[in-house]
Structure 1
Amino acid sequence: MKKSVCMLLACGAFFIIKNGLGDVAVQLANQEDLLVAKGEPDSQHEFEDQGQLFVQYYYQAENESFLVDVETGNVCNAYKGKQVRSCFPCTENEVSPQCP
């Protein structure tokens, strides 16, 4: 039991997300860990979405993009492709059953 808890704590810098990288992809949780693990991106693009700043890091060899919230430094989205996506589940001012 202690070993399982230690392994869980040791992996605390990681989180699981579902996205275009496959059914379940394990990605690094913050900008620093991302840059250490993946190295310098082939391109990066800073943009604003719903009043917040984000940076998109794109790695051409893997065709992977990672979005980082500039304020928190957390990776909030990871996916295949170079197009800029969002970290928000809904568009600004969207009203739907999923976005009240």
Structure 2
Amino acid sequence: MHNLQHIFETHNFTLTNETTKGLEYQHQETEDIVYLLPTKEINLTVSPLSFDIDLSQSDGKIHSTALKRFPKRLNGGKQPISFGYSFNFQTEKELSEFLHTLNK
């Protein structure tokens, strides 16, 4: 996942937290947060409360304790869990193009 860091830096994101479950990046201007999660594909998760993007284009909601700075909701358990919207990319170019749209 660290091999993608240069792409985030190019699009004004700074690594702000790292766990085994994911990397947290914060946009330098808007201070919005995204998470890069370890999967076979490039998985970027955004908050439903940030960025002006069409969340219906996402690959769906994802719930994870790794999304510490995202809102929480119940998802079948007794306690609320953080959630966001997942976007999967096959290539670094696709990720870069998506991050570019977040800068607008």
Q: In which range does the TM-score fall when normalised by the shorter chain?
A: 0.3 to 0.5
TM-score (norm 2): 0.35
Q: Which has the larger radius of gyration?
A: 1
Higher helix fraction (1 or 2): 2
Bigger relative contact order, structure 1 or 2 (CA pairs below 8 A, ≥6 apart): 2
TM-score (norm 1): 0.36
